[in-house]
Every structure is written in structure tokens, then in C-alpha cells.
Amino acid sequence: MSQELVLRAAGLTDIGRRPTNEDVVLVRSDLGLYAVADGAGGHRSGEVASALATRSIENYFGATIKKTHEQPEFDKFGIPSGARRLSAAILKANRDVIEIARSTPAHKGMGTTVVAACFSPRSGLMHVGHAGDSRCYRLRGGHLELLTQDHSLLTDVLEQRPDLDDTVLERLPKSIVTRALGLDPKLRISLRSHRVVEGDRYLLCSDGLSGPVPANAIASALATPAPPEATADALVTLAKTSTGNDNIAALVIECTGGPTGDSVPPPPLSRDADGRADPELLILGIEELDSLDSSSASDDLLRALEELAKKP
């Protein structure tokens, strides 16, 4: 039997071994909203980008509270309204970062990764959206699961060329992200929805934590019966005592109450204007495959990788 979902959360950042702290955490349990942003850019612009992004997301959620009460939990396409709200908030933050970067010479080229989560008590769903390599983990029943996939050069390469030799992969820069707020007005947000189960613990963090701290140490810290404040502090301490030198951000969310099983209200079936269910799968652009331009960003990446593979 479902109970009321109760969230308890805490987060903190640490400068690490960097001259400035460009990581920001956002904790708004009253809005069911949590986020971590990891900024980048010269002249202290990284901290401007991350602070601006989290504030923009927070403001969007604050301004759309009334609208959420008026909307059904799922839209007519079967998409959770909370997921669309989170995506819209992150995209609004992206536009805000781009606008400031373009209008202020001192902040030119700034950007930030972000991972954000929001909770919908009515459906018992947690929605997570991200751009870059800031991550979201979930500990459930003692099992740690990574809920996000890094938008990094290495990930993009492996998606296209999983057969590349490890010696080639080792030469790839490890700190390059391929998506971030502030880089592209047409930014694509990765977005997923997950059911919440009583006892779940979630971690939002920057790569200053996920990079140097192994997954088993993260799982052990999250499994320790301590409040979120103490758990976040323990995780940051683990990162500080590791070989890493980056800023560190950790945000721990603890869920009590909520669904105790697998039951989540099913989304409505997608139907066309005449009320009929979609008849078949259609592949976008399949009719024009012969006329597609062979030049693309993916092709450019593959050509660059071929050249890299030829080097001794």
C-alpha cells in the first residue's frame, strides 16, 4: 500500500585542489527539485555559469507550481508532465547561460554541466535530466545503479566504434564533454523517469566525486544508516582524500514513504486525431535514405578516429 512520499536531502560542495569552486548544488525539497552543476570557463566564468543555471532551473519550477496542479500526471502522449517540466527548465537555463555569455565579454565561452532530479508524489515517479558528465546514482536494496550516461567524448566514440583498440581509447582526452549548458542553443537533454520505492537513496554529483571515488565506495557510503547531511559529507571526504584535484559536489536524497512495490499509474495509450492507436512503427526519413548527405558530424568524428588509429 502506498504512503505519502517524504523526501529528505542535503548537499555540499568543496573547492578541492582548484583555485575556485565552480560546483553548485541546489536543494529545494519544497519543490521536489534537486540539482548539481559543474561550471567551466576562464576568468571565473565557470562559477557564474553553474550558479546561473541552477538559479534559472529553480526560478522556472517556482513559477510553474500552479500550472502543475492544473495538469494531469501524464499528457495525452503518455509522457509524464513532470518530465516535460524538468526538460523545459533545463533548456530555459541553457538559453539564459548562452544569453549572458554572448552579452558579457568577460563570460564568453562559459558553460556548465548539470544533472537535475524532480519528484512527482502523485505518480511516485522521479525524473532525471542531464547534460554533460555530472551523474545520478540510485541505491535500492543494497544495489547501486548509475541512472545517467556521461555525455563525453569517450562515450560518443564507444557508441560509434566499440571495436576500437584500447590503446587508441587510452589516447583520447578523458575530460571532454560533448554536451553542456551554454554551448548550443539546440541542446539535447537526456531525460528518464523512474519509479520511486520506499527506502531509495539517490546521489547527484559532479565528476570531481564520481571520477576518483570507485562505485563500491559510493555504494558503501550511501548504504550507511546516516542522515543525508552526514552521507554527503562522507562522500566529499572520500573524494578529497583520493587522487583527484577537481571541485567536488555531492547531493544525497533519501526517500521514505511512497510506493512499496512496482505499481505506477500506466500512461495512456497514444492515439491519433481520430482516436485510433498508432498502427505501426515508422522510421523517420527512411524513404529519403538514398538522397541523404553523407557529410555529418558523426562522419567527421569517425574520420578523426580513423586518423588517430593510424598513428603509432
Which domains are present in the chain? 6-266 (3.60.40.10)
Mean pLDDT across 53-58: 98
128 vs 34: CA distance, rounded Å? 9
Residue 290: the pLDDT is 47
Share in percent of the chain as helix, strand, coil (round to 5):
35, 25, 40
Is the per-residue pLDDT at 274 higher than 90? no
Q: Judge contact between 86 and 116, C-beta under 8 A.
A: yes
More confident residue, 111 or 292: 111
Which residues, including other chains, have CB under 8 Å from residue 167's CB and lie 6 or more apart?
Answer: none
Return the bridge partners of 118, or none. Answer: 33, 127
DSSP calls for 118-146: EEETTTTEEEEEEESS-EEEEEETTEEEE
- Reported as a pLDDT band with limits 50, 70 and 90, residue 104 is confident
DSSP calls for 58-104: HHHHHHTHHHHHHS-SB-TTS-BHHHHHHHHHHHHHHHHHHHHHHH-
Residue 1: the pLDDT is 41
Mean pLDDT for all residues in the chain: 86
Residue 275: the pLDDT is 55
Mean pLDDT across 241-264: 81
C-alpha separations of 7 from 29, 58, 119 in Å: 7, 17, 9
Q: Judge contact between 248 and 239, C-beta under 8 A.
A: yes
Q: Global pTM?
A: 0.85
More confident residue, 141 or 3: 141
The type of residue at 144 is L
Mean pLDDT across 262-279: 51
Check residue 247 and report its DSSP letter: -
More confident residue, 133 or 172: 133
Is the per-residue pLDDT at 184 higher than 70? yes
More confident residue, 244 or 97: 97
- Reported as a pLDDT band with limits 50, 70 and 90, residue 265 is low
